[in-house]
Amino acid sequence: MNPLNLEEFMKIENVEVRDIAKEFGTPVYVYSLEILRHSIGEIKQLAPVTRYAMKASSNVRILKEMLDNGVKIDAVSVFEVQRALRAGFSTNDICFTSDVFFDDSDVKFCLENNIYCNCGTLGMVEEYGKAFKAKGAGSPKISIRINPGEGAGHSKKTNTGGPYSKHGIWHQNLDEVKRLAKEYGLTISGVHTHIGSGGDMEHLKRITGKLVEFAKQFEKIETVNFGGGLPYQYDPDKPQEDIAGYKTILEERAKLLKDHFGRDIVCEIEPGRRFVAGCGYLIGEVRSHNHTFDEDGKRIDYVLTNVGFCHLLRPMAYGSFHPIWFDGNDLGPEQDLIVAGPVCESGDVLTQKDEEPVARRLPMPKPRDCIVIGGAGAYGHVMSSNYNSQPLIPEIVVDGNQCTQTRSRQTLDDILRKETK
């Protein structure tokens, strides 16, 4: 499903891209609620409990849509926990997953507010246990994140399992978890694993089986969280990854758990990217052209835009593919183009592969034409920065023919307000 209308005047749902650029300026993030709602409906039917990994996009309007549709929250910092609470979620809706408490106030907050903690290291289990014992308050129930010994992902940097991942308690250390739980009066009521972002269904099938076996080691288990990592295809010319079969896999896992424990165990998943990647677009403006010649005398053409890695980090950080369209009158013929941004770094290139700049076959735009970058809903605005003193850009939601700003454009005064000479 793609709400981007590629007619004469490019539209997101029923709103013209040029009108959005004119009203809100560029660069600007735009989220289609039509595609978000479609994704929520697709994912919610997979498991009895669905959480949203809000690190993918913590925009308040997106959180509201999750809340309205009965999706719960996976938060990876206490700041995310607090943001979710302010968005209207209850403490019972939120699971805090981390490898550490950022400081002493984190564990205090979790205990005082009965935030369910999913601990990814033995040290975090022990810190929670010591604080729980000393305070005499809070819940004794915790979950543990297990590193199953293998991982997967679209990049080594998004692989969160195996011996070279910092995430999760190593699967051979579960007896130590039991010892710590007994020492501090804790109950291991949940187990969890997440092997990486952008894996494939074969990995997910194998890892869910492993997690069932790990769960059997804890007799008071109530919840098994199979993590996220649902695959997502960024290239609109290729078929979207089919995830419907994951429901059958999870139903099989739930039956194995019930057969072992003699009771129903709550099975959860926590996708992030698959929920929101497709609903987001980043609109910018073409500013200039440039060209060079390689050692063989071949011309290399660049299209320079006002969208840089301070706005969308993924191409530079991971070599990620994002679809690109230009919206303008009288676009030139298709040719090999490298599309880049304004940041003072050679790596500020939007068309990359294997973390290297590559040309892409695109129509030649003119300065002041719009550039539209797709697949920008996940790990887009949330990973942006003030590098080069660039202000953070606004976020807009489109619902049919309605366009609403949910975050205003930051100014230099906003940036400097917290600084002193």
Maximum distance among all Cα pairs of the chain, rounded to whole angstroms: 74
Kind and range of the H or E element at 340?
strand 334-340
Q: Which of 119, 344, 370, 403 is labelled catalytic?
A: 344
Residue type, 375: G
Taking a C-beta distance cutoff of 8 angstroms, is the pair 52, 270 a contact?
yes
Tell how far CA 335 is from the center of its chain: 33
Phi, psi angles (nearest 5°) of residue 328: -165, 165
Residue 202, helix vs strand vs coil: helix
d(CA 77, CA 58): 12
Query: How far is residue 344's CA from residue 395's CA, in Å, rounded to a whole number?
Result: 24
Distance CA 195, CA 156 (A): 11
Q: Length of the chain in residues, anyone?
A: 421
CA triple 307-312-315, angle to 5 deg? 105
Residue 344 bears catalytic tag:
yes
Contact 99, 124 (CB under 8 A): yes
Helices (H), 185-310: 201-215, 246-261, 273-276
Residue 385 corresponds to which tokens in the numbers above? 């920065």
Tokens found for residue 55:
């690190």
Please state, in angstroms and rounded to a whole number, the distance separating the CA atoms of residues 192 and 218.
12
Q: Beta strand 370-373 with 324-327: parallel, antiparallel or unpaired? A: antiparallel
Helix axis angle, 60-68 to 33-44, nearest 10°: 40
Element containing residue 305 per DSSP (H, E): strand 299-305
* Partners of 393 in beta bridges: none
Q: Using the 8-state DSSP alphabet, how is residue 190 labeled?
A: E
Q: How far is CA 41 from the centre of its chain?
A: 18
Which residue, chain included where needed, has tokens 């078929």? Answer: 239
List residues with catalytic annotation: 344
